[in-house]
Every structure is written in structure tokens, then in C-alpha cells.
Amino acid sequence: MPSIKEHDYLKLCAQLASCLTISIAAAKKKIDITCAKKGIKDISARKEIAEKLLEQARENLVKGESSITNQLDQLLEALAEDENFMVED
């Protein structure tokens, strides 16, 4: 599929990428996957999907759910059974 060159759409992709702290290509792919699931092909509907994803990302950011520091903290938490595990003696 050729890339879409519309300025408003690209701006939404960039804002989504910034909000999710991912690349613009990954944000476009996220929008493409969502649109493919819903069978959407026209640019106006893609913009609407991008706006909805951006709103959701901003809401999660305000709640602190998708903050990169929170994600990293969750990944680094030790499970109760792994707290005393040693890799080497």
C-alpha cells in the first residue's frame, strides 16, 4: 500500500507516536492494523481512527497508565518467587 501524503494524517501519526513514545512508522502501523480490522480504507475514516487512538493514548497518559517509566517499573518488578534468585554463585 503506498504511503499517504496528507499533512493532517501525518500530523496525527506524529502526535500519536510522541504520546506513545514510539516511532512514526510504528504509529502508522498501529493505525493501519486498527483500520484493517474494521475494514476501513478511505483517508477520512483513517483520520478519525487516528484521532480516537490519540485521544485514548492521551487519556492513558493523564492517568499514568502508559507512561514509559511505569511500563519499565512493571517490567523490572521482581516476582515473589524470583526475589532471591541468583544467576551465578
The closest of 16, 17, 4 to 44, measured between CA atoms, is 4
Domain residue limits, the chain = 7-77
Tell me the per-residue pLDDT of 57-86, one tens digit each, with 9 for 90 and over: 888 878 766 566 666 776 677 665 666 666
Chain-centre distance of CA 43, in angstroms?
Answer: 20
Q: Is this structure's pTM higher than 0.75?
A: no
The closest of 49, 50, 42 to 24, measured between CA atoms, is 50
Q: Is the Cβ–Cβ distance between 13 and 54 less than 8 Å? A: no
